[in-house]
Amino acid sequence: MPELPEVETVKETLKQLVLGKTIRDVVIFWPKLIKEPPDSHEFAERLKGQTIHNIRRRGKFLCLDLDEEVLVSHLRMEGKYVYFNHRADVTKDAHTHVIFTFTDGSELHYKDVRKFGTMHVFPKGEEERRLPLVQLGPEPLEERFTAALLKQRLKNTTRAIKLALLDQTVVVGLGNIYVDEALFRARIHPETPTDQVSQAKLNQLVPAIKETLGEAVEMGGSTVRTYRNGQGRMGMFQQKLAVYGREGEPCVECGTPIKKIKLGGRGTHFCPNCQKRRKRRA
């Protein structure tokens, strides 16, 4: 958390707030979140005087396209950006780790309670050839993400399908919430080994992933913990969650109590009736 829909929402919000603004100063209070260049002073100097021309999303990463550099930001568990239009409105707290001040006096604060977020700066054009972006899988909302492509991405693993979908080198942007929801829509048990997921089920799974993510993007993501967009607004997709966070509640389809298990250390929610584990054929 945040996952693809939340990062997409943050991206669109930031485009409304900071596109076209020029960075006058960068103040870093927690240098450990700066990964490239490793010198946080150099990081700040490379951003000064740069104008934000575009903001993109790659998986769960935000990419801010500047004049000569690209700022790649990962929010991880609890990172968030908060925009202040005037210095008089600014309130720095203990969780503010980076402040970007623009030439018009407005500021963008990066806040992170758990300090797990990361920031990289690369010369424009190099970001896709360098870690962390170079290892990412395909985007699930693009047309080229098909059942055939997913099958090819899964061919070298026999992990549980839930764990495979959480792997950002297989497909990007999916996290705990939306994997649980997509598997429910496709009627696939989360523990099913990938080599036991039939072509017919893959044909159901890919549209389920696209529909789940698309609906979540339209509703601004899911606020199940602390997520807010750059304007402090909550997502609303949590109102449509069918299984995630609903342990013991009746399934929206059949009324069977939703079950929660641990899978790869992650809380995993499913309907034991709608998502029956099928035995391998002899």
Q: Show which residues are catalytic.
A: 2-3, 60, 266
Closest C-alpha among 91, 85, 102 to residue 47 = 102
SS3 breakdown of the chain: % helix, strand, coil, rounded to 5?
Answer: 30, 25, 45
- Cα torsion for 243, 174, 156, 194, to the nearest 10°? 10
Q: Is the separation of the CB atoms in 52 and 122 below 8 Å?
A: no
- Backbone φ and ψ for 268, nearest 5 degrees, come out as -130, 125
In what helix (H) or strand (E) does residue 81 lie, and over which residues does it extend?
strand 79-84
Structure tokens, 204: 């159901």
Helices (H), 19-144: 40-47
Residue 56 one-letter amino acid: R
* Alpha-carbon span 122 to 128, nearest angstrom: 9
Q: What is the dihedral of CA 263, 268, 274, 277, to 10 degrees?
A: 0
Residues 6+ apart with CB under 8 A from 178: 3, 4, 5, 209, 212, 213, 216
Q: Which residues pair with 55 in a beta bridge?
A: 64
Give me 117's structure tokens: 């977020």
Report whether the peptide linkage leading into residue 132 is cis, meaning its omega lies within 30 degrees of zero. Answer: yes
Residue whose pair of structure tokens reads 């409304």 in the numeric block = 16
